[in-house]
Amino acid sequence: MNFSSSTFIYIFLPLFLLLYPVADRLGKKNARLQRMRIPEIVTVLFSLGFYAWACFDNVFFLLIIIVATYAAGQLIRRWQDARAGEPSAAPEDRLRAVTPGAFLCGLMTVFLLAVLYHYKYAGTWKMNVWDIHVIPVITPLGLSFLVFSVISYLVDVYRGCHAGDFLDVAVYISFFPKIISGPIVTWKQWQGIGETCQMSVDNACAGVERIVVGLAKKVILADYFGSVIHATNYDWQSAWLISILYTFQIYFDFSGYSDIAIGIARYVGLRFEENFNFPYSSVSITEFWKRWHISLGAWLREYVYIPLGGNRKGKRRTLINLFIVMLVSGVWHGAGLGYLAWGAMHGACMVIERIVRDKKWYKKIPSCVKWLVTMFIVMVGWQFFRANSLSDAITHVGRMFNIGTSAELTFTWQYYVTPKLIAMLVIAFVGSTVFRWIQDLIQRKEHQRSKSFQVIQMVLSLCLFAVTLICITNTTYSPFIYFQY
């Protein structure tokens, strides 16, 4: 089920937004119902229904993952608690010993990665690398995000976090706003936001506004940019236009999804951390990754970069760890060589930036020049996402510099550039860069907002929602780009 589909907007989401407050209210009024935790049960049922809508068979896979994760977490926590009561061993003995909790955590992690490999990578690598014909298998929806969530739960429980009961684990893993494309919320973070979860009118209003903004990003901007150019033979100007359009499309598509997920969570009182913070205003690739898909960067830092040694083992090892993390990020997105090249490119840029960041000549480079270089690297990198193969991506990048352009052109750039496209590009540029400073100004004056300002904001949200619904009615179904990852 797509967040921008008619089924979700007109049926599923309204039902959830109506029934959850009722369940929450009943739980607060009746002690017995409160012990039954009706809101959590409603959330799990809606989440399973959401998952089953995409592929009914997948919901059994999800249930198996939930049960196995809960059982493993309980065993790990029990063994860790038992070990805590034992006399302390010598440091050298602790290093050599492999505890049952560590063994089970490692075993489950290997199993999950094997499942991820089977569904997401095995077929592609057998066909592309070994030239073996394989029968395609249907990958469970959101498998990459699901695996990351389960690994986070197991590792955090091993490190000392409370394991929770079965309902806690079921809600955490299956929570429908985040299960398909994130944001990736670690178990440690989930426990923190769960303790402060409180449904209120302010949270509900803020959540609905965020949902509307996310839908508008997806339907009005991302889907439009994705529908502009579908030519196979194009000139070098069109190649640049395609690259720019896809750069905006993937940002507004993915950040729009994150806005909807964060908005739904906020409606029920859960405050997820931001997943995007105007990444296209970055002046380096390092800064870009602090602003783009923030939850993925945080997960990789917590469960890959730090276990590898982080920056604790010298400068050379730090650079190697940075590069490995970006390679992992590339492989996580897909099995094709294009994803590996994308990760290697970003990793190499981060390594170079780490080496030169303290050089005087680098500090003297104007920020606008750094921004242009950063955005060029980002834009070229996205072509490895857009293309069907590494060779197609290289061909497209070559066409951007008039290398390999076909003599027989389907259309030239003049055909695509219309007043509407120019206006949408201006809106996209302002919304992804300049609006960062406008938003900061609004947030600094948050406490000064008057009732009239809030009314105006609500009216604007309603107007934006109306325009979004019109666009949904007049356009064809377009899934979120990150659904495939």
What digits encode the pLDDT tens for the residues 245-289? 999 999 999 999 999 999 999 999 999 999 999 999 999 999 999
How much is the pLDDT for 453? 67
Question: Is residue 143 domain-resident?
Answer: yes
Same domain, 174 and 252: no
- Cα gap 56→226, rounded to integer Å: 29
Tokens of 134: 């394989």
Say which range, 119-123, 360-364, 415-419, has the weakest mean pLDDT: 119-123
How much is the pLDDT for 94? 44
Question: Is residue 214 domain-resident?
Answer: no
Question: pLDDT category, 443, cuts 50, 70, 90?
Answer: low
Indicate whether 192 pLDDT > 80.
yes
How much is the pLDDT for 198? 82
Number of domains in the chain: 2
Same domain, 48 and 139: yes
How much is the pLDDT for 56? 73
Question: Is residue 283 domain-resident?
Answer: yes
Same domain, 261 and 379: yes
How much is the pLDDT for 91? 46
Say which range, 120-134, 291-305, 412-426, 442-456, has the weakest mean pLDDT: 120-134
Same domain, 167 and 244: no
pLDDT tens digit string along 30-78? 777 777 788 899 999 999 999 888 777 788 889 999 999 999 999 999 8
Q: For residue 10, how many C-alpha atoms fall within 13 Å in the half-sphere facing its CB?
A: 8
Question: pLDDT category, 430, cuts 50, 70, 90?
Answer: very high
Nearest to 468 by CA among 209, 205, 181, 213: 213
What mean pLDDT is predicted for residues 91-99? 52
- Cα gap 278→371, rounded to integer Å: 13
Query: Residue holding tokens 């955590």?
Result: 105
Question: Is residue 335 domain-resident?
Answer: yes
Catalytic residue among 333, 346, 396, 447: 333
pLDDT tens digit string along 206-249? 899 999 999 999 999 998 998 887 767 788 888 899 999 999 99
The residue segments making up the domain with residue 136 are: 37-180
Indicate whether 134 pLDDT > 70.
no
Same domain, 136 and 251: no
Q: Of 19 and 449, which is predicted with more confidence?
A: 19
Question: Is residue 373 domain-resident?
Answer: yes
Indicate whether 476 pLDDT > 70.
no
Same domain, 282 and 146: no
- Cα gap 479→8, rounded to integer Å: 12
Same domain, 419 and 327: yes
Of 158, 180, 202, which residue sits at a domain end? Answer: 180
Q: Of 415 and 128, which is predicted with more confidence?
A: 415
Same domain, 176 and 321: no
Question: pLDDT category, 383, cuts 50, 70, 90?
Answer: very high
Question: Is residue 192 domain-resident?
Answer: no
Q: Of 24 and 132, which is predicted with more confidence?
A: 24
Active site residue 162: no
How much is the pLDDT for 154? 94
Question: Is residue 289 domain-resident?
Answer: yes
pLDDT tens digit string along 2-13? 787 888 888 999
What mean pLDDT, rounded, does the chain reach?
85
pLDDT tens digit string along 284-338? 999 999 999 999 999 999 999 999 988 888 889 999 999 999 999 998 887 788 8
